[in-house]
Structure formats: C-alpha cells, structure tokens
Structure 1
Amino acid sequence: MHDYDAFSTWIGRDTPKARKGTSRRAPEGLRFAFYGRASTVEHQDPATSEGWQREAAEHLVAGHGRIVASYFDVGSSRRLPWRHRPQAAELLAALADSDRGFDAIVVGEYERAFAADQFQRMASLFRRHDIQIWLP
C-alpha cells in the first residue's frame, strides 16, 4: 500500500512515501489495525470471539476506512500489559515502523483490550507514534 503526498496526488502523480509530517491517510480512508483478545480457549471459542469483535470493529470504522491488519491474542489475560501479550506486543512493535501499513488501531471491545488504567498509560505511546485509537 502506498502513502500519498497531497500535492502529488492533486497533480496526478503518486509518490511511494509521504514526506515526514504529512498524513499517511490513503484516499480511501484510514487504514486500521484490528486488536482483539479471547481470554482462554477453555471458556471461549477463539474463532467466534474474534468474529464478533472483528465485526464490531468493522462496524465502527465503516465509512472511515478499512481494516488492513489483524492482531488477536488467545489465552492472555487483559490484566497483562500489552508488551506481555504476543499479538499486542507485535502490534506495539509495528508502531515504530514508518511503513507499518496502518494509521489507526480499532478495538472490537474495550474490556477485551484494556484493564484498569492500561489505556491511559498507553495513550502517550499512541500519540507519540501518531496513531489514532478507535474504541466502541
């Protein structure tokens, strides 16, 4: 997926990468990374849980962009920090990549993603990487 420089798009030439400080928003809207979680295999069907959380996330972003990446943890407690959940840790690592391929993170259900004050503690990290967080 390409990033677009507004001026180049306006004159009809695509550029492979936007200049630093310009929006990475593609013409079709924001590119979202979906994050969801199922606590245990014994108490939840991971496929069903991922399905309804993803559906909620898709409904939330409809008309604003599309989900281009998916990160879904199974068996990790929400009390664990994101850096200790395999898929959440992978998502956090992707934030530092300027070619990460997404502009925002969408969560299917707040309580599946965050516990206690986790969101408040992570907000500055998301801001530092110019990432929007969309919550239901």
Structure 2
Amino acid sequence: MNLGDLHKIWEVKALKRKPGEEEARKMLEKIAKQVQPIMKNHKWKVKLLSEFCEGFDIPGRRLGGFSRQPALSSLRQTALAAAENRKRLGSLLPTGPKRLGGDNTIKDALSPIQAAAIVAERRLQDDI
C-alpha cells in the first residue's frame, strides 16, 4: 500500500432516509474525491465523512472549538469601511445627474458674492 493512500476519507455515510439517500451519498463521495489532493498535501486523514442535520439558525461547531458570531461593533466597522469605499469610488467615477452647459472654470474663479451677482443679473434679464 502506498503511504499517500492513507491521507483520505475512509468512509462516506449519508442519513438513512428513503428519498434522497443515494443522491446524498453520491454527493458526499464526489466531495471526498475533490478534497483528496488537499488532504494528501496536508497529510490529513478522515475516518468518516457524514451527512448531518443541524440547520443554519443555531451556532455551528468547527475543529478546535466553537465558532462565534462576529461582534456587532466589528460588523458596523465593516459596513462603514464598505460605505466609505463606495463613496471614494463614486467620487472617482461620478454617476447620476449632470449639469448641462456652463463653464465650471469661471465658477471656480469667482467669489460667492460675484457669482450671486451674475445670477441675479441673469434673472433680471430673463424677467425683462
């Protein structure tokens, strides 16, 4: 026997149920074949790969201890970082409504008082 053959999943077991048991067993065997190169690389051995019923609404377990939910503050920080990244990208790639006409270079050269005076004169001319 080749020593590389030791690093594999030794047994695959599906839940005992009439509809779907064979399909579940085939899926587990497919998974076992897909992870075999990784297991050989890390020299891992698994005695039993089994289907189990746990649901997603209860805390899970992982090798080495219990998994934990990230702290709420960590989630807020992640959401804030994502929002800031979207804002930064939005300023690099502007989207949305755009002003038609006009010259922004003139606007930058004028003080707010001068710009207000020009707009007031335009409105006066429009009314006439």
**Same fold? TM cut 0.5:** no
**Between Structure 1 and Structure 2, which shows a larger proportion of helix residues?**
2
**Between Structure 1 and Structure 2, which shows a larger proportion of strand residues?**
1
Larger radius of gyration: 2
Higher relative contact order (CA 8 A, sep 6+): 1
